[in-house]
Structure 1
Amino acid sequence: MTLTIQVKQLIEDKGLTQSQVAKECGFSGGALSSYFKGTYKGDNDKLEVALQKWLDGQTQKTATFVSAPDFVETPTASKICADFDFVKMFGKMGVVYGASGVGKTQAARQYTKANNNVWMITARPSICTINEVLYEMALELGLSDAPKRAGKLSRMLKSKLAGTKGLMIIDEADHLPLKVLEELRILQEDSEVGFMLIGNDKVYTQMQGGFNQRHQFARLWSRNAKRQQVQKSSKKDIDAVATAWGLELSDSKLMTALYSIGQGAGSLRALTNYLQLAGLMARGRNEPITLALILSAQQQME
């Protein structure tokens, strides 16, 4: 593809004008127009060098500015997914718990997308009884005609799950009381598929029996083959996010700021939000994401 075609294509793609490009290259609009027509009488070599530099600069900006990635495989996410693999493979029960905003839910969603026979539901105040949780699971499994009675639901789910070698992920499991957790334990054992509970520290203490462990919790707690705590994001997590956004890890000032923002409890989500806003501002200015834009986004969102 010739230089002329490349420049014309980029002008069209970005909605620019020939006059705007000529000005950025240090030539008049008439000179660039004549060059495109093949009638330019001036120094063609000099104009082509200027056009090539402009084209390279635009390509660099496009490569540097990265839109919000769908998923960033951080070291923490990789560990969580490894636990999913274990629980799914061996048909066990597990729990991932800790601070919010450190990537637990995003890892679960990505794992669900990337693997067969993996289902994910989210508990909430309105979905925390046995009937509601089992019905939500039935819908996730494609049982649109599922009954509303808990006994029938449980038997139907056992039949549907058995033999699948699958994994059922329950996010926000800290909303679930002991009665529901016990129902899930029995369903997991009967169907012999993996069950992974995700939530904050409360889901851990509930399954453990709180601070006063009682005998009734022993059956539940002893079934947990995997227990992973995630209280904050690591520097390597921040590095992975920065790389996914096209930022330079060698920029020590930038990375120091990102570490400061992203290593607190829940701050990885905040950092991602700042990067999304900074990315929008960068796109509007047709420039790469900078530390100044990230700090500006942080100030606006706080």
Structure 2
Amino acid sequence: MNKHVGTSQMTAGSTWERPVNPPVLLDNRSQEDIQLWWQLVDGVIDTAKASGWTKAEVARRIGMADGTFSQWFSGKYSGRLDSTNKIVLQWLSAIEENASIAATIPQSPPFMKMRGTVEILDTLMWAQLCPDLVMITLGAGMGKTETCMHFERSRRHVYRATVSENTKTVHGMLTELAEELDVREHNPARLARAIGNKIRRAGDGTLLIVDEGQHLNDEAINQLRHFVDVYKCGVAIVGNAEVYTRFSKEKKKNRSYDQLKSRIGKRLQRPEPYAEDLVAYVRSWGIEDPDCAKFLIGIGKKGGAFRQIDKTMKLATMYANGRGETVALIHITEAWKNRDVEDMA
């Protein structure tokens, strides 16, 4: 939500006009090459318009230089048409094949308001309205990212950035935030101020959600506290328990952990999903058989929670559909066995 939309995506369709004239018949091409060229041009136009891709984006995805693709598409390419046609044909065939495979993969249930997700939503709401710094530390696969995405989609002035080991520093985190807030500042020394000014212009009710927050180093977390103190925005650091335990277990020189801890207005901590949420999630897959439900709930109690159920049910559904059968315990147990993650769960 609240992301900048580039005009290239919005106007891409208007640039895809079908060429009037075909390539000229030369010694290095046949009439069949030209006929295939027409088919491929139409396929590229349909695919690009459906996806909102510009010509430059299509050329990049095909793996062809912009100039070469432009000449090929306009029918003015003087090189071997059969070779270039083959490259485009392989790309279109791969897209069609991927779409065909994707159509057979079952979709996960839509976002659900369960006891656990409501707690996350309430914590995010607190951070946005107060505004305040909150920490949400949940076990893996318990829906924290999906819930944050739902909150971002449903409310104004909410920006969500995901950090990693590669972006755990102050500059790395600020770069991710700048991208989400559509802040263009190339001077690293001015990046934090540029983000702060964007927050100030947005007015009250701005919330920054930093997902996978366990990767952040101490300086990056302190920078987030600075945004709360100076620019009066809400900040939610979302991740596993590691992001908080540094405050309760570690004492490092020249670092005021008490100051950071005192800035945390609310903390939501839960290592395991609620039993009622596991039941609700299993039912959302249309599972009514008690034995199937019991098996899936047992999977959900392992590390990975809802994600384990989700991946197992997708595979089980594909097994059942491929055999023209309704999902049953045999398909679920087979899927769990073939996923082969028991030792990691």
**Could you state the TM-score of these two structures normalised by the residue count of structure 1?**
0.72
The number of equivalent residue pairs is: 233
- Counterpart secondary structure, 2:220: helix
- Residue 222 of structure 2 corresponds to 182
Comparing 182-191 and 66-75, the one that deviates more: 66-75
- Residue 147 of structure 1 corresponds to 186
Question: Aligned Cα RMSD in Å?
Answer: 2.0
Letter in 2 for 1:281: Y
Q: How does 1:1-302 map to 2 (within 5 A)?
A: 67-143=107-183, 145-150=184-189, 152-162=190-200, 163-206=203-246, 208-212=247-251, 216-248=256-288, 251-302=289-340
**How far apart in 1 are the matches of 2:150 and 2:165?**
24
Contact preservation (8 Å) 1:98, 1:199: yes
- Counterpart secondary structure, 1:78: helix
Q: Unpaired segments of 5 or more residues in structure 2?
A: 1-105, 341-345
Letter in 2 for 1:194: G
Contact preservation (8 Å) 2:282, 2:309: no
Percent of aligned pairs with the same residue? 26
The CA deviation at 1:157 is 1.1
- Counterpart secondary structure, 1:131: helix
Letter in 2 for 1:101: G
- CA deviation map 1:151-174 (0-9, x unaligned): x11111111112141211111111
Distance 1:288-1:68 versus aligned 2 partners, 3 A rule: farther
Distance 1:283-1:217 versus aligned 2 partners, 3 A rule: same
The CA deviation at 1:99 is 2.0
Letter in 2 for 1:261: I
**How far apart in 1 are the matches of 2:187 and 2:337?**
48
- Counterpart secondary structure, 1:126: helix
Comparing 133-142 and 72-81, the one that deviates more: 72-81
Letter in 1 for 2:216: L
The CA deviation at 1:94 is 0.3
Letter in 2 for 1:139: E
- Residue 22 of structure 2 corresponds to none
Q: Unpaired segments of 5 or more residues in structure 1?
A: 1-65
Letter in 2 for 1:256: K
**How far apart in 2 are the matches of 1:232 and 1:191?**
35
- CA deviation map 1:170-212 (0-9, x unaligned): 1111111111111110112212111000111110112x25344
- Structure showing greater relative contact order (alpha-carbon pairs closer than 8 Å, 6 or more residues apart): 1
Distance 1:67-1:154 versus aligned 2 partners, 3 A rule: closer
**Could you state the TM-score of these two structures normalised by the residue count of structure 2?**
0.63
**How far apart in 1 are the matches of 2:248 and 2:294?**
41
